[in-house]
Amino acid sequence: MTELCHFAQNGKKIIGVAANYKSLLKVLQRPTPQVPGIFLKPTTSYITEKQKIIIPGGFSVNEEIELGVIVGKNGKHIQEDEAMDYVGGYCAALDMTATCQMKEARSKGGSWTLGKGFDTSCPVSRFIPKNEIKDPHNLQLWCKVNGELRQNGNTNDLIFSVPVLIAYISQYITLEKNDLIITGSPPGMGPVHPGDTIEGGIENLVSIKYCVSN
């Protein structure tokens, strides 16, 4: 088994943020949320490069390229103006999402657990030390499937910024060192199938490549 990078090995939770790009809401024709919509993915969803994304039988799965924020120290009730002190680093992450399960959850008011949390649903890049990113709100995220560009968005389009997310989440959930916050995905995501190759990353910083299997 391939070894996971240190945050994936030691992190206790992965917190996702739903629909956090203005351009995505425009495409979905949804109103701007007042507060971030958050969800959890289990740490068993982590994979690192050389491992495959495995689509569970009968599932339809989309890729979502995201900026991941790795928590650097424990904190609760973190204020927005001190929130960046709690950032330990960053990564590129794929929030693999089972659209069939999400559709069912949305229409019946069910949980997002299977839609977001199945095994291999959180492929990540290497750890990017905090000092390598001067401004997390001006990063170009991109994602190609089988060489075709699907997603290409900038984190300057985020509705809720990194400090706002840290302050909001930590009101309710203690953030612990090595936890990962995935900050949402720009529009363009679509279905992936066994045999597909997903490449993505943060321009000029990091790129990842994952194969899809069944």
Which parts of this chain interact with Mg ion (CB under 5 A)?
64, 95, 185
Dist. CA 191–CA 151, nearest whole Å? 13
180-182 and 14-18 as β-strands: parallel, antiparallel, unpaired? parallel
Nearer to Mg ion, 17 or 54 (CB): 17
CB-nearest residue to Mg ion: 95
* Shortest distance in whole angstroms from residue 28 CB to Mg ion: 13
Beta strands (DSSP E) in 3-121 are 14-18, 37-41, 46-47, 53-54, 61-62, 65-71, 87-94, 97-98
What is the CA angle 209-28-193, rounded to 5?
A: 35
Q: What is the smallest separation between the CB atom of 19 and Mg ion, expressed in angstroms?
A: 8
Nearer to Mg ion, 141 or 206 (CB): 141
Residue closer to Mg ion by CB (options 125, 185) is 185
Instruction: For Mg ion, give the closer residue by CB, 59 or 75.
Output: 59
Query: CA-to-CA distance for 161 and 36, rounded, in angstroms?
Result: 10
- 21 by Cβ neighbours in 10 Å (0-12 / 13-18 / 19+) ranks as buried
User: Is there a contact between 48 and 8 (Cβ–Cβ < 8 Å)?
Assistant: yes
The minimum distance between CB 151 and Mg ion, in angstroms, equals 11
CB of 104 to Mg ion, least distance (A): 17
- For residues 95 and 179, which CB has a smaller minimum distance to Mg ion in the complex? 95
In whole angstroms, how close is the CB of 86 to Mg ion at the nearest point? 21
From CA 69, how far away is CA 38, in angstroms rounded?
Answer: 14
- State the minimum distance, in angstroms, from the CB of residue 65 to Mg ion: 9
Query: Any idea which residue has 């507060």 for tokens?
Result: 35
**3-state SS, residue 43:** helix
Give 65 or 133: the residue with its C-beta nearer to Mg ion: 65
